[in-house]
Amino acid sequence: MQPTTNFMQNQTLILIQCQDAVGLVANISNTLAKYQLNIITMREYVDEEANKFFVRVVCNGLFPDQTQLSNSLAEVLPPSAQIQVNPSNRKKIVVLVTKEHHCLADILVRQHFETWGAEVQAVIGNYDTLRSFTDKFEIPFHCISHEDLSKEDFENQLIAQIKQYTFDYIILAKFMRILSPLFVATFENKLVNIHHSFLPAFIGANPYKQAHSRGVKIIGATAHFVTDQLDEGPIIVQDVRHVNHNYTVKDMVTAGKEIERAVLSRAIRLLSEDRVMLNDYKTIVFE
């Protein structure tokens, strides 16, 4: 695993995905050399089946004119290439919660001490439970209760509230409402969920109860992008922990929370450093 802590100060970050072809690395690196940009790290991946090329390049020195560099790269790449030069190096996030604090607390502490490149814009809960904790960190908290509302009305209020903010990602930090396809479509590729199991095992509700009944020896958690398919979106990070016959369901939940917190935290860090690229139903993670 690579370190994921170097912020992009005095560096130029370039992300490209396009159809694969001979000479892409040459074309890209020629362009960079032309601008006297020295490559510090270049990580690329070729999906041979899909004939697609992905690359993440970090160069020494902050190149002043992003548009110029982007255009120069576009000239030497296939027409459909997606090019990003220095995407915002601090990601803005909106965090959705229900009642559980473990993921939110981790996010707010890191935010407070600025230990990563993510900036919480607001926390939105369908209960008021986590308001006072969020207040400590001087982050806006909005409660939008799902009670007495149709799913449609609830989601519309939620969407309206979210749209009050500028954001790169919406983090579902133990947000316990199933979202409609419409909601998901509204925020395509921006919704990141922490699922309380090692997907694809134990899809759906009560995974720890399922895990306990099954007598598993390992439990896990999965951070993934949200798509229409419940718990089926592209996986970003997974991790596990050994358990044994002594674990009650409650013990599994407690142990699971530690994994959930760590996995979501890692996913947000990777996203904030632009190390995650989407490749259809999967992710490429340049750790």
Residue 213 is a binding residue for a copy of itself (CB under 8 A): yes
Nearer to a copy of itself, 182 or 281 (CB): 281
Candidates 79, 113, 148, 150; binder of a copy of itself (CB under 8 A) is 113
Q: How far is the CB of 136 from a copy of itself (least distance, A)?
A: 4
Is residue 284 within a helix (H) or strand (E), and if so which, with residue range?
strand 282-285
Residue 51 is a binding residue for a copy of itself (CB under 8 A): no
Nearer to a copy of itself, 90 or 282 (CB): 282
Q: Catalytic one among 47, 65, 135, 231?
A: 231
Q: Where do the DSSP E strands lie in 118-264?
A: 118-125, 141-143, 169-172, 191-195, 218-225, 235-242
Is residue 97 within a helix (H) or strand (E), and if so which, with residue range?
strand 91-97
- Strand, helix or coil for residue 106: helix
Residue 199 is a binding residue for a copy of itself (CB under 8 A): yes
Candidates 19, 44, 89, 127; binder of a copy of itself (CB under 8 A) is 44
Q: Which of residues 138-197 bind a copy of itself (CB under 8 A)?
A: none
Q: Which of residues 58-97 bind a copy of itself (CB under 8 A)?
A: none
Q: Is 135 a catalytic residue?
A: no
Nearer to a copy of itself, 90 or 217 (CB): 217
Q: How far is the CB of 235 from a copy of itself (least distance, A)?
A: 5
Q: How far is the CB of 242 from a copy of itself (least distance, A)?
A: 6
Residues in CB range of 156: below 8 A, 6 or more apart: none
Does residue 169 contact residue 213 with C-beta atoms inside 8 Å? no
Residues in CB range of 144: below 8 A, 6 or more apart: 124, 125, 126, 154, 157, 158, 161
- Strands 276-279, 169-172: pairing is unpaired
Residue 118 is a binding residue for a copy of itself (CB under 8 A): no
The length of the chain, given as a count of residues: 287
**Active-site annotation, residues:** 231
